[in-house]
Chains A and B, each alone.
Chain A
Amino acid sequence: MSQPQEFKEKLAAWQAKVDKSLAKHPERKAQFTTISGLPVERLYLPAETDQDYADKLGLPGQYPFTRGVQPTMYRGRFWTMRQYAGFASAAESNRRYRYLLEQGQTGLSVAFDLPTQIGYDADHDMARGEVGKVGVSISSLKDMEILFDQIPLDKVSTSMTINAPAGVLLAMYIAVAEKQGVTPAQLRGTIQNDILKEYSSRGTYIFPPKPSMRIITNIFAYCAQEVPQWNTISISGYHIREAGSTAVQEVAFTLANGLAYVKAAVEAGLDVDAFGPRLSFFFNAHLDFLEEVAKYRAARRLWARLIKERFGAKDPKSLMVRFHTQTAGCSLTAQQPKNNIVRVAFQAMSAVLGGTQSLHTNSMDEALSLPTTEAVTIALRTQQLIAYETGVTETIDPLAGSYYVEALTDQIEQKAHDYIKRIDDMGGAAEAIERGFVQREIQEAAYAYQKAIETGERVVVGMNKFVTKDKHQGELLRVDPKVREEQAAALAKIRAERDNQAVSAGLATLKAAAQGEENLMPHLVNCVRAYATLGEICDTLRGVFGEYRAPSTI
């Protein structure tokens, strides 16, 4: 065994971090063994560690983080099992959350309906047909109070898939916590807050890029002071992949967006190490198992290198890609839906072998409708099976050193980096999106994928091969259309009962702040406390910032 001196030092540093971590929290077991009783070590290394290994793979919890962001990974604790859920009313979603927590889920993930995501109250004309459909309807703090009723916000971590109005929903979360006697400093969770991928891939934008980037940097600055444990953004490749991108494009466009946020915040005068540690990421787990494992490893390494080189970040946490994963919704089939259970299991396994920090597993019936309770339970059990039964969690980054996985990791990093350089030449991610470059690249990949399915070059089991005539027989979850009327009635009541002078005053101050350069977050908290509605707040901001108009790309 020969190790270069420099690597020996790194190894000693890793061991010291492991010891320190063990002193605080022991690993899940005193001894790890295979099912046959063979000992399992924490970390496996090449017999001879050369410079190439040290530069490219390094050690877990150390730059460039290829082998993972924590020194003990899943031997310490498993990823957070976090099922994205929410539908209909706040009361109904609250019941689903409490059920999931009782079933052993370890974090919440809130799905909002489209009117909420686009800043319309439930009684707005544009909300017709959409209230409560793809998530829970939240129009005011009152709904948020019901949503988290009997859920202790100092104990759970909550991820909220909210982008354009992320500041408003975060303000509501802070205000609900206050009512529970929980301080902002105790809150743990994530807001998605990633507007660039909304323009390119997901569609729930409100304001144009410039004011949107300002709101995002306001949130970074505010949380660094007031909500220090909060993940202020979840830079998302998930939806880019769902829109049809390749794995390389997913990494490239996500990291390019991330670079744009960091640049905007640094230009606004923030220190990269003040907000960098709270950036988080969100990736897709698609079908090509080993390519996916390589993708997560490549993303970690490339981001660490870019942030170090371009922004001179010093805090290791600023360099880490900590990420959530969701299995690929676009890979689910409406035909033979039970096959989806197996697809999801493979995809989830790739995320675990790629070192994810939290995971959502899709339900088998999601190509048909929102998932039923039974389907959600199987999806959660899938994660528990991987964690508790398969043994892949017992050693760190078990696929490291596979010739194939390492070659794929290198290639994905290289090709993603090439894309990022092209985007740099266009002036950055926002400009590349405004030109339609990112959208066109994704569309072309999506069409090529569809054509490969239609020619049979790509096999989709149960859809273009091994086809049966069986129809889905099971139950589907339906959202009662009455939700809109109920929400509208509740809103009317709130508007009648609240202190409307306080609301007007709050909105006027918010407007003035938006016209100036102040941080908007304290004003948003102020408005939601007075029960100003999401729609009223977003309309105030629309009045100042205007609305985004998407370029045509087809």
Chain B
Amino acid sequence: MRKIRVLAAKPGLDGHDRGVKVISAALRDAGMEVIYTGLRQTPEQIVAAAMQEDVDVIALSVLSGAHDYLFPRVMELMREKKLTDVLVIGGGIIPEEDVPALKQAGIAEIFGPGTNTGAIVAFITNNLKRAL
């Protein structure tokens, strides 16, 4: 069985990358392959990277409050590119009341501060949209 491939991405201008780096390390320790985009990626760049790297999962991290624009924009571009078999999850400083709209837009799950990395590993493993 091949490894799960994850694109860890920082859309927007936010420079807080502690979370995304910790999660990248945890996913690698759990046996996944992780490609990290680095900071300041546009939604277009993220979707292009996901296609090029042929990933199973995109993990988006935003702590600036711009998730309300950036997350749905990524999903919109993915639909345009017919990238429908990629699991997308998000994390950051995201108020509870924003979660329903983000899920509506197609983000499978939102992980807030205090999430155990094991919960993220389990979620990814159980919710992949493509066969390994």
Contacts and interface: CB of A to CB of B under 8 A. Distances in A.
Contact of B18 (A115, A243, A471): A243
A134 B64 contact: yes
B65 A134 contact: yes
A333 B25 contact: no
Interface string B1-37: 0000000000011111110011011100000001010
Given A369-B65, A476-B95, A334 B18 contact: no
Interface stretch (A123-131, A259-267, A296-304): A123-131
A273 interface: no
A476 B36 CA distance: 31
Most buried by A among B21, B38, B116: B21
Given A334-B114, A450-B22, A460-B114, A129 B70 contact: yes
Interface string B92-129: 01011100000000000000111011100000000000
B15 to A, nearest CB: 2
Contact of B113 (A334, A479, A554): A334
B95 A369 contact: yes
A275 B114 CA distance: 43
B65 A133 contact: yes
Interface string A513-554: 000000000000000000000000000000000000010101
A472 interface: yes
Contacts of B96: 368, 471-472
Interface stretch (A57-65, A183-191, A198-206): A198-206
Interface residues of B, number: 35
A118 B13 contact: yes
A120 B95 CA distance: 26
A334 B69 contact: no
Interface in A154-203: 198, 202-203
A446 B21 contact: yes
Contact of A476 (B70, B97, B117, B118): B97
Nearest to B70: A129
B38 A129 contact: no
B95 A481 contact: no
Contacts of B25: 443, 447, 554
A367 interface: yes
Chain B interface SS verdict (over half): loop
Contacts of A242: 16, 18
Nearest to B69: A129
Contact of A333 (B14, B39, B113): B113
A244 B25 CA distance: 14
B16 to A, nearest CB: 7
B54 interface: no
Contacts of B113: 332-334, 367
A203 B95 contact: no
B113 to A, nearest CB: 4
Contacts of B70: 128-129
A472 B94 CA distance: 13
Contacts of A243: 17-18
A418 interface: no
B65 A370 contact: yes
A114 B96 CA distance: 23
Nearest to B65: A133
A203 B18 CA distance: 11
A335 B116 CA distance: 13
B68 interface: yes
Contacts of A271: none
B51 interface: no
Given A134-B64, A204-B15, A552 B38 contact: yes
17 contacts: A128-B66, A129-B66, A129-B70, A130-B14, A130-B64, A130-B66, A133-B66, A134-B64, A203-B16, A330-B18, A368-B96, A447-B25, A450-B26, A481-B69, A550-B38, A552-B38, A554-B25
Given A130-B13, A198-B15, A479-B65, 9 more contacts: A117-B13, A129-B69, A130-B66, A133-B64, A133-B66, A134-B64, A203-B40, A476-B97, A550-B39
Interface of B: 12-18, 21-22, 24-26, 34, 36, 38-40, 42, 64-66, 68-70, 73, 93, 95-97, 112-114, 116-118
